[in-house]
C-alpha cells in the first residue's frame, strides 16, 4: 500500500508520542510528566487526538481514566511504530555488553529462576558487569499485560502458553519432562510408583492459576480416574520441602525434581500416566524485537539455559 504523503504530512506525529504516554499512564498528569510537558499541553494533545481518531480514547470512570475499545486497539500498533521510528532516527550504536549499563525486568516462575537464574547471573557478572536484573513473579495473561504496559522487558511462559497476540513474540527456551517425587519412607512406596498408588496417595499441585487442575488431571480423566489434591501452591521451590515432610506425592519438572531429590533424599519415578512434553518460552513485545540489547539478552538466556541443561544432564548421569 503506497504512503499518502500529503495526508500524512497534515498529522503531527508528536501526537502519537502523547497517545502512547496517555495509554501507558492513563492519567493526563502522569503522561505529561512522562514526556516532559505541562498538564495543560497534554490536555490539549488529548483533545487533538480525540478529533484525529474520532473517538474519546480515554474516559473518566470510578477507577480513573479508562481506554475505549478504539484506544486499546491503537495501543500496540502505536507503540511498535514509535519503536521503529526511534530506531530509524537514533544514531546507530552497537551494543557492547562489556561496557553497557542497563536494567532488564524479567517476569518468570520460580522454577525457571532456580534452573537458569544462577548461571545467567554468573555469566553476566563476568561478561557484562553493568547489566542488572529485576525478577518478578508473572504468568499467563498477567505476564502478557505486563509486557504490553512495558512493565517487563521479557517474560518466561511455561507449558501450553495461550492468549498471545501478533505483537507478542516468542522463542522456545527449553523442553522438559515430568517426574513423580515423594518421600519413600513416609508413603511406604518404592519407585517406580504404580498407577494404583499414584491415584491413592494425596498430591501436592503447583499451579500459577486458580483452580485445582493440571495436566495430570487431564491425563487421569482420559483413563476414567481422578486424584486427591492435598495442597495447591504457586511456588515450585516450596514443593520439595512439603513432599519431604508428608505422605504425599507431586509431579514436577524433571530437571527441578532431580536437583531437589538429590538435596533432600527424595525418591523419583516416571509418571504412571502419559504426560505431554513441558515447554518454556521466552516472550516479549514486538517493540523490542530489533533492540540490540534485547536481542543480546534473549540470545544470552537461550545459550546459558542450553549450557546449564547439558551440565545438569551430565551431573545426573554421573550420579546414577
- Distance between CA atoms of 42 and 37, rounded to whole angstroms? 7
Contacts 24+ apart (CB under 8 A), 51-58: 52/11, 52/15, 57/19, 57/22, 58/22, 58/23, 58/26
pLDDT tens digits for range 206-243: 887 766 788 999 999 999 999 999 999 988 899 999 99
- pLDDT tens profile 160-192: 555 567 788 999 999 999 999 999 999 999 999
Residues 284 and 293: their CA atoms lie apart, in Å, by 13
pLDDT at 315: 41
Cis peptide before 192 (omega within 30 of 0): yes
Cell numbers given for 6: 500529503
Q: What is the pLDDT of residue 319?
A: 37
Residue in 3, 51, 50, 58 with CA at minimum distance from that of residue 28: 58
Prediction pTM value: 0.70
According to DSSP, the residues that pair with 180 across neighbouring strands are: 251, 269
Which portions of the chain are predicted below pLDDT 70?
1-6, 8-9, 87-88, 90-93, 159-164, 210-211, 311-320
Bridge-based pairing state of the strands 278-285 and 154-158: antiparallel
* 156: three-class secondary structure by DSSP: strand
Residue 157 near residue 143 (C-beta atoms within 8 A): yes
Q: Are 232 and 205 in contact (CB under 8 A)?
A: yes
Contact 153, 294 (CB under 8 A): yes
Q: Using an 8 Å Cβ cutoff, are 135 and 87 in contact? A: no
At residue 317, the pLDDT reads 39
Ordered domains of the chain (ranges, CATH): 5-89 (1.10.10.10), 102-176+279-319 (3.40.190.10), 178-276 (3.40.190.10)
Per-residue confidence (pLDDT) for residue 164, from 0 to 100: 66
Return the pLDDT at 3. 65
Q: Which long-range contacts (CB under 8 A, 24 or more apart) does 255-261 make?
A: 255/115, 255/176, 255/309, 255/312, 256/111, 256/114, 256/115, 257/179, 257/181, 258/179, 258/312, 258/316, 259/114, 259/115, 259/312, 260/181, 261/181
Amino acid at each position: 500500500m503506497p504512503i499518502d504523503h500529503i495526508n500524512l504530512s497534515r498529522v503531527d506525529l508528536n501526537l502519537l508520542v502523547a497517545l502512547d504516554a496517555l495509554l501507558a499512564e492513563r492519567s493526563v498528569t502522569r503522561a505529561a510528566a512522562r514526556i516532559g510537558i505541562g498538564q495543560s499541553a497534554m490536555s490539549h494533545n488529548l483533545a487533538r487526538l480525540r478529533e484525529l481518531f474520532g473517538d474519546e480514547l480515554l474516559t473518566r470512570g470510578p477507577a480513573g481514566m479508562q481506554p475505549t475499545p478504539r484506544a486499546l486497539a491503537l495501543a500496540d500498533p502505536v507503540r511498535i511504530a514509535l519503536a521503529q521510528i526511534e530506531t530509524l532516527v537514533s544514531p546507530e550504536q552497537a551494543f557492547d555488553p562489556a561496557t553497557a549499563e542497563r536494567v532488564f525486568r524479567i517476569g518468570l516462575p520460580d522454577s525457571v529462576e532456580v534452573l537458569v537464574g544462577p548461571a545467567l547471573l554468573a555469566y553476566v557478572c563476568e561478561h557484562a558487569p553493568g547489566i542488572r536484573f529485576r525478577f518478578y513473579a508473572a504468568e499467563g495473561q498477567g505476564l502478557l499485560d505486563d509486557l504490553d504496559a512495558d512493565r517487563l522487558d521479557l517474560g518466561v511462559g511455561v507449558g501450553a502458553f495461550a492468549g498471545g497476540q501478533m505483537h507478542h513474540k516468542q522463542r522456545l527456551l527449553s523442553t522438559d519432562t515430568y517426574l513423580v517425587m515423594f518421600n519413600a519412607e513416609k508413603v511406604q512406596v518404592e519407585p517406580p510408583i504404580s498407577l494404583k498408588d499414584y491415584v491413592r496417595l494425596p498430591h501436592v499441585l503447583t499451579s500459577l492459576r486458580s483452580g485445582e487442575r493440571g495436566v495430570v488431571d487431564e491425563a487421569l480423566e482420559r483413563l476414567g480416574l481422578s486424584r486427591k489434591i492435598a495442597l495447591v501452591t504457586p511456588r515450585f521451590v516450596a514443593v520439595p520441602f512439603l513432599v519431604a515432610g508428608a505422605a504425599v506425592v507431586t509431579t514436577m519438572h524433571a530437571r527441578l525434581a532431580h536437583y531437589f531429590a538429590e538435596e533432600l533424599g527424595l525418591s523419583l519415578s516416571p509418571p504412571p500416566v502419559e504426560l505431554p512434553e513441558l515447554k518454556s518460552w521466552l516472550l516479549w513485545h514486538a517493540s523490542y524485537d530489533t533492540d540490540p540489547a534485547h536481542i543480546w539478552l534473549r540470545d544470552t538466556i537461550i545459550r546459558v539455559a542450553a549450557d546449564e541443561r547439558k551440565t545438569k544432564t551430565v551431573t545426573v548421569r554421573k550420579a546414577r
